[in-house]
Amino acid sequence: MKKIPIGISSCLLGQNVRYDGGHKRDSYITGTLGEYFDFHPFCPEMGIGLGAPRPTLHLVKIDHALHCVGIKDPECDVTERLHDYAEQQQHLHAGLCGYILKKGSPSCGMERVRVYSGAQHHKDGVGIYAEALLRLNPLLPVEEEGRLGDPGLRENFIQRVYVLSRWKAMLAVGLTASGLTNFHARHKLIIMSHEDYRDLGQLLAGLTKSSLEQVAEQYILQLMITLKKPATRKNHVNVLQHIQGYLKKDLSADNKVELCEVIERYRNGYIPLIVPLTLLKHHFRKTPDPYIEDSYYMSPYPQELQLINQL
């Protein structure tokens, strides 16, 4: 399977581009994720010609606006250069299905970056390049390498990457009304695990040939916003019970009791999501259902990533 293109801060791949001439290679990213993602490295500070090693930068608040300036030389203000770099890379960013940023960086930090105001500082800033990246690419799944250590956030990010990748693959063969409605149908259960899917369904209800492109743009934007909110255990239980309904005529009384008990154990946090999903897959192998078979919920990404084993 072709690897998915992902943007990444260069230092996380082991490139010596840090302010001290070093790197922050991440073995999970380069190892596990590298099996499935084609990484496209970016270093905005190197990109604007600062070199490595280089004087350190930090964020400061000047007249209610964030600026990225040198710690030792406050006259060295690279804010506009970082903004310009993000815009110059936009043609490359447009081809990506996700992006992993370096936490805490005054250029690349996605959240909780230190912002100085006089002698005080607060961790409430966003790196200058990261802010432009997020603003210019509202569909793009973006995450920090530090947050990928959280199983829920990691699963959420990778799930969104695969959804956007499938969306782009659909567009590549040509947008059609049937293709769009089929895309929604195959992702409906995933959407249910995050939020009520009916709003997105209603968006497609009045679909016409003339409104296709406009509706598609609204749909994918709303979908990616919806999926950004991590799925909850409660919503997963609702989806599992919904799927269970497709087996009500085929399961024996004992199998129904077992499946209900397994879903209840998941609800109470005693077992991970992989357990009820595995049991459901077992039953659907015996009695296949076309809708469930087409849905991405049971297999949203390669099982080798083992993401749902910890949910």
Task: Render pLDDT for 38-97 as a digit per residue (tens, 0 to 9).
Answer: 999 999 999 999 999 999 999 999 888 999 999 999 999 999 999 999 999 999 999 999
Kind and range of the H or E run holding 61:
strand 57-62
In the chain, the amino acid numbered 242 is H
Instruction: Give the model's pLDDT for residue 283.
Output: 96
Packed helices 177-192 and 233-244: angle between N→C axes, nearest 10 degrees: 120
User: What are the φ and ψ backbone dihedral angles of 119, each rounded to 5 degrees?
Assistant: -85, -10
Q: Could you say which residues of the chain have pLDDT below 50? A: none
- Rg from Cα positions in the chain: 22
Indicate the pTM of the whole model: 0.94
Between CA 7 and CA 178 the distance in angstroms is: 31
In the chain, the amino acid numbered 60 is V
Kindly list the distances between the CA atom of residue 153 and the CA atoms of 52, 143, 158, 167, 229, in Å, as whole numbers in the listed order.
32, 8, 9, 21, 9
What integer best gives the mean pLDDT of the chain? 94
Nearest to 223 by CA among 166, 271, 280: 166
Virtual torsion, Cα 255, 239, 156, 291, nearest 10 deg = 90
Name the one residue in this structure whose structure tokens are 């581009």.
17
